[in-house]
Structure 1
Amino acid sequence: MLPESQVLPVKTMDKVYSHYKLYPAFSKYFTKENCSLVMDKYYYINCYSYDYKGTKAVAYKIESKILNMGTAGKRPAFKSDPQIPQAYRTKTQDYTRSGYDRGHTLSNQSMNATLQAQASTFLMSNITPQNPQINQRVWRKAEDRERFLAKQKGSAEVLNIVFYAKDKSKIQYIKNGIAIPELYVKVIEAGDVKECYEYPNHKVEDERLESYRADCERFVK
């Protein structure tokens, strides 16, 4: 169960997607101890940190029948999230000339069968400063993998975890005090398959998907 005091009200109604219910195995990442704000975005749950001005975890379910519908339209513009208090809100201009991409935590391609779903992935609360190579070529392979497994097995439960340096004195920031993550982890559970991937947030020599396989027991039971 999510902490009721932190769950923001759902205002979205979508005839294609069902209201996402948090997968029990992922629940420890969406507590009041771990999150400044737990946001129910209808399509996904977001654990947002005021300290980092970014997400710490995003969970969602993708289904083969919806993925096969294709995209509803062209990519929308990035938008600040009005559910976050102004002092902790980020905007697309914060990333300009930062050297980092506006990296989706939940991929647009995994949630774009309706315009509403697609727009939800372009909220800045779903974005973190991501190394361009990791975002465009390395993490992207794990995103492709989640969709492949969902199509193969019918659906997939996905958890994306964003880790920041434990030593806060080592955290670097872009404009507006947005913390740069240290690591990204993707957990995929599809039928009898469970796979996890762990990526650093810096340039790498090896871009192969299998090179970033991780032990899922470290993250979920």
Structure 2
Amino acid sequence: MKKLPILLLLASVSFAQTSIQEKLFIKKFFNNKQCDQIIDKEYFQICYNYKAKGANYVYYVLDGNKVNTVNIKDRPRFYDELELPRKYRSKHSDYTRNQLI
């Protein structure tokens, strides 16, 4: 599977409170030309690429009041993104015995 570089776009405040310049910058990456599908997970968004079966870009918001409030000790290694059509989802086997890992 071909791997694409991932650009992480960080913000310290919610998207609604970002400046116009920040919103325009984010729209350069999160639009219908760059993304086959944009998945909104409340605290982060994923610009998904069907061909690569992975994210082109990820944007997330860090809220200082919520950092470390709910730490998860055992995190799953992988989960299917159910918002994607089945044929475009990555599977755990896509990442096993991968030369990049």
- Matched residue count: 82
Tell me what 2:65 maps to. 65
Which of 15, 37, 41 is the equivalent residue of 1:21? 15
One-letter code aligned to 1:75: R
Map of 1:170-209 to 2, 5 A cutoff?
none
In structure 2, what is the Cα distance between the partners aligned to 1:39 and 1:54? 12
Per the TM alignment, residue 89 of structure 1 is displaced from its structure 2 partner at its CA by 0.8
Per the TM alignment, residue 92 of structure 1 is displaced from its structure 2 partner at its CA by 1.0
Per the TM alignment, residue 42 of structure 1 is displaced from its structure 2 partner at its CA by 1.4
- Do residues 74 (structure 1) and 68 (structure 2) align? no
Instruction: Tell me the SS of whatever aligns to 2:15.
Output: coil
Tell me what 1:93 maps to. 93
Instruction: Tell me the SS of whatever aligns to 1:81.
Output: coil
Instruction: Tell me the SS of whatever aligns to 1:93.
Output: helix
Higher helix share: 1
In structure 1, what is the Cα distance between the partners aligned to 2:77 and 2:96? 14
In structure 2, what is the Cα distance between the partners aligned to 1:67 and 1:46? 20
Tell me what 2:54 maps to. 54
In structure 1, what is the Cα distance between the partners aligned to 2:68 and 2:75? 18
Per the TM alignment, residue 69 of structure 1 is displaced from its structure 2 partner at its CA by 2.7
One-letter code aligned to 1:69: T
Tell me what 1:173 maps to. none
Tell me what 2:31 maps to. 31
Instruction: Tell me the SS of whatever aligns to 1:67.
Output: coil
In structure 2, what is the Cα distance between the partners aligned to 1:30 and 1:44? 12
One-letter code aligned to 1:27: K
Unaligned runs of 5+ in 1: 1-19, 102-221
Return the TM-score normalized by structure 2.
0.68
Larger RCO of the pair (alpha carbons < 8 Å, separation 6+): 2
User: In percent, how many aligned pairs have the same letter?
Assistant: 30
The Cα offsets for residues 81-100 of structure 1, whole Å up to 9 and x where unpaired, read as 11111111111121111123
User: Given the superposition, is the C-alpha separation of residues 63 and 49 from structure 1 closer, same or farther in structure 2, using an over 3 Å criterion?
Assistant: same
In structure 2, what is the Cα distance between the partners aligned to 1:73 and 1:98? 26
Return the TM-score normalized by structure 1.
0.34
User: Given the superposition, is the C-alpha separation of residues 82 and 65 from structure 1 closer, same or farther in structure 2, using an over 3 Å criterion?
Assistant: same
Unaligned runs of 5+ in 2: 1-13
Q: Tell which structure's C-alpha radius of gyration is larger.
A: 1
Per the TM alignment, residue 68 of structure 1 is displaced from its structure 2 partner at its CA by 4.2
Instruction: Tell me the SS of whatever aligns to 1:57.
Output: strand
In structure 1, what is the Cα distance between the partners aligned to 2:42 and 2:65? 18
